[in-house]
Chains A and B, each alone.
Chain A
Amino acid sequence: MNYLSDVGALTRKDLLLQLRARDTLPAMLLFVAAVFVVFHFSLPAGSSRLAASGLLWVAIVFTALLALGRAFVPEREQRTLDALVLAPCDRSAIWLAKSLATLAFLVAAEIVALPLFELFFHGLHGSTVAGVALADLGICAVGTFVGATAVVTRARELLLPLLFLPLAIPLIIGGVGASVVHGPGRYLGFLALYDLLFALLCWAAFEYVVVE
């Protein structure tokens, strides 16, 4: 129970901070719209609708990277990560709270992005939305973890995409599969498996990342 209340307090803090920053969500929305326009011009005439579906996932991953890059900025610039690590809460609560807050923003961006995609390209199946939902969990779990790791290093923002993208490749495969294949069940199942495995790993390992 204590754990959940800790996570609650931290999530509230993270949401407040990102909302007060006021530029994260607008930037994500503009970015997604711009990326879609770029896709349109990048796809040669006569490209299949499958190509556009695939590119949707590129848009999602890179929009997520935008949010993930900002996730630990307050903790880094004001060194408040120290205060959180000092607190008696389980260190994994820090990771979980940050993931949940990032998830909220990612979903908020997708609520606009997915209809926009339908407007620009073509309709989306329910399986695509399910895939997006499942992939979001994995993206936020792993992305937050990797984001915290990047914060500790000298290279910082430079490292985040390098650490995140290889880990995101299975998610993209699962997501694209769920979007375009006639029997998306396997892909959705795979996404759920990824989420479970990596969430567990992140949860257990976060402790080791934040203590100097």
Chain B
Amino acid sequence: MIAARGLGRRFGDKRVLRGVDLDVGDGAFALVTGPNGSGKTTLLRLVAGLALPSEGELRVDVTRDRIGLLAHDPLVYRELTALENLELYGRLYHVPERRERIGMLLERFGLWDARHERVAAYSRGMTQRLALCRVLLHEPQLLILDEPYTALDAQGAELLDAQLAELRGERTFLVSTHDPQRVRALATSELSL
């Protein structure tokens, strides 16, 4: 599903990524590890299509509507409510049975009661859980998770564990973390930057 050869990315005079080879097949769970600043986020952004490589080749056999990205930022609008945020993304991704799916996700991640509150009022953990809802909303084939456990509270982390266990094998995962212990058991391959 993902094939990269000699992938590199520069920001000005700084080389953030160099000569990366990556192969991720359907249903695989690829782990990307490395210290802070090693380019994990950049690699994930390249695969997601948010940035173009400076050098090398990258092939991602998935269309944009089947990709889900969990980034460092939750990518939700703080001045909108959880419901409004998910409505927006639901429409943009043409999610079938949008209302039901949104309701189901909000409930599963414990946000149903807070659905009419603006995200600005949420705790960090709640916001990250909403981000997870956003990512899962359109049932993406390829899930790209950038250090997903970082901003999650205990409840959120449990829910994420459950989701990963449930979807593993069915979907393809590309997960970066600087604390690999948690997910190593699930991983089918590991890339160290």
A and B touch in the complex (CB under 8 A): yes
Q: Chain A: residues with CB nearer than 8 A to chain B?
A: 2, 5-6, 8-10, 12-13, 16-17, 20-21, 74, 78-80, 82-89, 211-212
User: Could you tell me the distance in whole angstroms from the C-beta of B132 to the nearest C-beta in chain A?
Assistant: 14
User: Could you tell me the distance in whole angstroms from the C-beta of A208 to the nearest C-beta in chain B?
Assistant: 10
Chain B positions 66 through 106: 1 when the CB is less than 8 Å from some CB of chain A, otherwise 0? 01010101111111100010011101111000000000000
Checking A20, A79, A86, A212 against B64 with a beta-carbon cut-off of 8 angstroms, the contacting residue is A86
Q: Cβ of B65 < 8 Å from any Cβ of A?
A: yes
Q: Cβ of B45 < 8 Å from any Cβ of A?
A: yes
Provided the pairs A16-B84, A212-B51 are in contact, do residues A9 and B91 lie with their beta carbons within 8 angstroms? yes
CB-CB under 8 A from B64, the residues of chain A are: 86-88
Once the chains bind, are A2 and B94 in contact (CB under 8 Å)? Answer: yes
CB-CB under 8 A from B75, the residues of chain A are: 78-80, 82-83
Bound form: Cα–Cα A109–B111 in Å: 38
User: Could you tell me the distance in whole angstroms from the C-beta of B122 to the nearest C-beta in chain A?
Assistant: 13
CB-CB under 8 A from A78, the residues of chain B are: 73-78
Q: Cβ of B48 < 8 Å from any Cβ of A?
A: yes
Q: Which residue of B lies closest to A88 (CB)?
A: B65
User: Could you tell me the distance in whole angstroms from the C-beta of A56 to the nearest C-beta in chain B?
Assistant: 33
Once the chains bind, are A6 and B52 in contact (CB under 8 Å)? Answer: no
Checking B50, B76, B77 against A212 with a beta-carbon cut-off of 8 angstroms, the contacting residue is B50
Q: Cβ of B129 < 8 Å from any Cβ of A?
A: no
User: Could you tell me the distance in whole angstroms from the C-beta of A16 to the nearest C-beta in chain B?
Assistant: 6
Chain B positions 128 through 158: 1 when the CB is less than 8 Å from some CB of chain A, otherwise 0? 0000001000000000000000000000000
Once the chains bind, are A87 and B93 in contact (CB under 8 Å)? Answer: yes
User: Could you tell me the distance in whole angstroms from the C-beta of A175 to the nearest C-beta in chain B?
Assistant: 33
CB-CB under 8 A from A86, the residues of chain B are: 48-50, 64, 67, 69
Bound form: Cα–Cα A79–B49 in Å: 15
Number of interface residues of B (CB under 8 A): 30
CB-CB under 8 A from A88, the residues of chain B are: 63-65, 92-94
Q: Chain B: residues with CB nearer than 8 A to chain A?
A: 45, 48-52, 63-65, 67, 69, 71, 73-80, 84, 87-89, 91-94, 118, 134
CB-CB under 8 A from B87, the residues of chain A are: 9
Once the chains bind, are B49 and A80 in contact (CB under 8 Å)? Answer: no
CB-CB under 8 A from A16, the residues of chain B are: 79-80, 84
**22 A/B residue pairs, CB under 8 Å, sorted by A:** A5-B91, A9-B88, A10-B88, A13-B80, A13-B84, A16-B80, A17-B77, A17-B79, A20-B80, A74-B78, A78-B76, A79-B73, A82-B71, A82-B73, A83-B75, A84-B92, A86-B49, A86-B50, A88-B94, A211-B51, A212-B50, A212-B51
Bound form: Cα–Cα A88–B89 in Å: 10
CB-CB under 8 A from B49, the residues of chain A are: 85-86, 211
Bound form: Cα–Cα A9–B91 in Å: 7
Once the chains bind, are A212 and B45 in contact (CB under 8 Å)? Answer: yes
Listed from nearest, the 4 A-B pairs whose CB atoms lie closest are: A88-B65, A212-B51, A9-B91, A83-B75
Bound form: Cα–Cα A111–B137 in Å: 41
User: Could you tell me the distance in whole angstroms from the C-beta of B53 to the nearest C-beta in chain A?
Assistant: 10
What 15 additional pairs, Cβ within 8 angstroms, besides A16-B79, A82-B71, A87-B64? Answer: A9-B91, A10-B92, A16-B84, A20-B80, A20-B118, A80-B75, A82-B50, A83-B89, A85-B49, A86-B48, A86-B50, A86-B64, A87-B89, A88-B63, A211-B51
Bound form: Cα–Cα A56–B52 in Å: 44
Which of A79, A82, A86, A89 has the largest number of chain B CB atoms within 10 A?
A86
CB-CB under 8 A from B77, the residues of chain A are: 13, 17, 74, 78, 80
Bound form: Cα–Cα A112–B2 in Å: 55
